Structure formats: C-alpha cells, structure tokens
C-alpha cells in the first residue's frame, strides 16, 4: 500500500498542472494571437491603434461576444443553437418597429424588455424541442432559423427601420458611453463576468459541464438534464434578444434579417475560444476572446488593405484549425494522463 501511495502523488500533481496549463493555454494563446495581430497591423498602419479604431473594434465585438456567451452555454451542454442570427434580426426589426411607433413613450428600458422577451420566447421554443422532444439540436435550430427568418421578412415586408424614428436615448446607448468607454462593451463584459462566475462557482452552473461531459453520468448523478438544457437555450435566446436591441441601438437603420449568416460566425467564435464542440469543456471568457479575435481580424484586413472577402474564408480556416488543435491536444493529454495513472504494468 505504501508503495502505491508514494508514487501516486507526484504523478497526480503534475498531471493536474499539465491539464490546467492546457486549458489556460487556449486563453493565453488567443491573447498572444491578438497581440501579434495588433502589433503587425499597427506596424504597417499606425492608425489601427487610434482611439477611434480601438473603439470601433470593441463596439463591433460587443454584440458578437454577447451571442458567443449564450452559445457557449448551449455548446457546453453538447448542443448547438443555429437560430441566434435570425433571432437578432427578428428582435432588431420588431423592436425598432415597436419603439418607432411611439418614440417618446417607449424608451430604452421598454425596448430592452420587449426585445429580450421575444428572444427568450424563441429560445424557449428551441429548448422545449431539444430537451423534451429529444430532437437533434442541429436540425431543430436549423428549422427555427428558417421559420424565424421567414417571420422576420414577413413582418418587415420590404420596409426598413430608420434611425430618425427611434428614441435618441436608444441610439445614445448604442454609440455613446461613460468616460469615453462605450456602453456596449461594458454590457458585454458585465454579462460575461456574471455568466463566467456563475458557471464556475455555482452547483447548477457545474451541471452544464456535467451534462456535456457525460449525459449518462449526469443522469445517474441526479442532474436535472432537461431543465438545464432548456435553461441554456432560454438564456441563449434571451441574449440574442438583447443583442438584437443593441444592434438596433448601434446601427439605427435596420432592414429585415440584418444578422443573416451570423450563427456560423458565433459558433466559430465559441469554438475558436476553446469551447469543445462535443461539450463539457470551455469558458465564456475564451468564447469572448474568440469573438474579439475574429472581429479584430476583420478590422485588420481592412487596415492592411487585404481584400475583405478573405475574412469569411479566414473565419472558416480558423474554426478548422481550432477543432484540429483541440482534437490533437485532447488525444495527447489523454494518453499522457493514462500513462501517468498506469501503475504496476496493469
């Protein structure tokens, strides 16, 4: 027995260090990639780091990052929500129409409540279908993507929302800030910190990881699997609703389905940020960093006068790189951990 005890400890300790390093490594390497990108771009064109340039990047990242936070929660439970882009569009347009009908009486708060409620309803629908009807998440959210998109176009009917019809306070929310810091990134950071803290520090937050890591074991451990999955979708939908209102506030002028195709960018951001597509692993901080990286690449391409058409291709390539690296690392780490826990040649 003593022999067993003696050689187990060092193996265990270093294994833990190793794994933590790997997980931290994702966030660190994202920061490093960002730093390199910013340095190179600034070296070529110093305007990149001007006050306005930085502010634009943060403004542009905010909504994407918000969606990435919601999507992370869903992906961590081994599911996916492809309908977020269409929800943003629906909410942006409907909220715009709603407040512009009475710009003096309906203010920022009303708009936020209205938009988040629509988003939450969409999320609830997805969640019910996935968790209680056990329909594959990909298919269901593809379907709701279609439906919501059609609904959006139907409601819009070729019209568009104009900034002049909106309450000034709403536009102020989207473009101004306090002490030079715009509101949008502040909102995103607050949401990110709250969700990140919840996921790490509360038992119900850990349930999400448990479900994604092993649904079977989660059920055996008495985790309320369906309720948590439903909650993840509800939350993702509500955040998409919030994102829709902020979209309206930022751009003012909105046509139908403005965030078309965003679902894939959001999923890319989440996966690039280190949330495993098979669930159970990842943090919202990583997902937000992923969103920041994707946005910064877009801005850098403009500044570097690279054909901006490369952006989408790069997003795809980055996603492929991220899942490949994840896979290779996972295989390596598992092998290493297994070697360390093998004792006495078993």
Residues 186-245 binding other proteins (CB under 8 A) are 201-203, 206-207, 209-223, 225, 229
127-134 own/partner pairs: CB under 8 Å, 24+ apart = 127/229, 127/230, 127/231, 127/232, 127/233, 127/234, 127/237, 128/230, 130/79, 130/229, 130/230, 130/233, 131/225, 131/226, 131/227, 131/229, 131/230, 131/233, 132/226, 132/230
CB 192 within 8 A of CB 65: yes
Q: What distance in Å separates the CA atoms of residue 332 and residue 22, rounded to the nearest whole number?
A: 11
Kindly tell me which of 109 and 157 has the beta carbon lying closer to other proteins: 157
Q: Binding of other proteins at residue 5 (CB under 8 A)?
A: yes
Rule CB under 8 A: which of 267-306 touch other proteins?
A: 267-268, 271, 276-278, 280-281
Kindly tell me which of 133 and 178 has the beta carbon lying closer to other proteins: 133
Rule CB under 8 A: which of 111-150 touch other proteins?
A: 129-130, 133-140, 142-150
Stretch that binds other proteins, among 50-58, 100-108, 183-191, 328-336 (CB under 8 A): 328-336
**Minimum distance between the CB of residue 87 and other proteins, rounded to whole angstroms?**
13
Helix boundaries (H) for 45-107: 51-76, 84-100
Q: Binding of other proteins at residue 319 (CB under 8 A)?
A: yes
Stretch that binds other proteins, among 25-33, 50-58, 96-104, 262-270 (CB under 8 A): 262-270
**Minimum distance between the CB of residue 132 and other proteins, rounded to whole angstroms?**
10
**Minimum distance between the CB of residue 50 and other proteins, rounded to whole angstroms?**
28
Q: Which residues of 281-292 are buried (b: 16+ CB within 10 A; e: fewer)?
A: bbbbbbbbbbbb
Q: Residue 254's beta-bridge partner residues?
A: 161
Rule CB under 8 A: which of 34-93 touch other proteins?
A: 78-80
**Minimum distance between the CB of residue 258 and other proteins, rounded to whole angstroms?**
15
């Amino acid at each position: 027995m003593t022999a067993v005890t003696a050689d187990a400890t060092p193996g265990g300790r270093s294994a833990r260090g190793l794994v933590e390093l790997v997980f931290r490594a994702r966030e660190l390497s994202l920061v490093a990639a960002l730093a390199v990108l910013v340095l190179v771009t600034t070296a070529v064109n110093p305007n990149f780091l001007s006050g306005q340039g930085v502010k634009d990047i943060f403004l542009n990242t905010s909504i994407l990052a918000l969606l990435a936070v919601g999507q992370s929660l869903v992906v961590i439970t081994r599911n996916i929500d492809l309908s977020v882009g269409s929800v943003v569009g629906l909410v942006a347009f409907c909220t715009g129409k709603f407040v512009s009908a009475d710009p003096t009486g309906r203010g920022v708060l009303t708009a936020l409540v209205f938009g988040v409620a629509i988003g939450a309803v969409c999320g609830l629908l997805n969640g019910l279908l996935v968790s209680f009807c056990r329909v594959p998440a990909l298919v269901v959210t593809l379907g709701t993507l279609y439906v919501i998109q059609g609904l959006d176009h139907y409601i819009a009917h070729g019209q568009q929302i104009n900034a002049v019809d909106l309450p000034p306070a709403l536009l102020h929310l989207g473009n101004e800030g306090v002490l030079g810091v715009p509101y949008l990134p502040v909102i995103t950071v607050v949401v990110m910190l709250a969700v990140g803290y919840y996921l790490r520090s509360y038992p119900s937050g850990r349930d999400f990881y448990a479900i994604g890591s092993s649904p079977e074991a989660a059920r055996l451990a008495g985790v309320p699997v369906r309720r948590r999955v439903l909650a993840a979708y509800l939350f993702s939908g509500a955040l998409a609703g919030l994102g829709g209102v902020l979209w309206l506030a930022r751009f003012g002028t909105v046509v139908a389905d403005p965030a078309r195709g965003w679902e894939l960018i959001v999923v890319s951001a989440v996966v690039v940020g280190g949330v495993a597509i098979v669930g159970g692993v990842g943090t919202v901080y990583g997902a937000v960093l992923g969103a920041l990286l994707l946005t910064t690449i877009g801005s850098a391409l403009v500044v570097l006068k690279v054909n901006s058409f490369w952006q989408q291709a790069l997003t795809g390539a980055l996603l492929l790189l991220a899942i490949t690296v994840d896979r290779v690392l996972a295989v390596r780490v598992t092998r290493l951990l297994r070697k360390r826990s093998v004792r006495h040649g078993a």
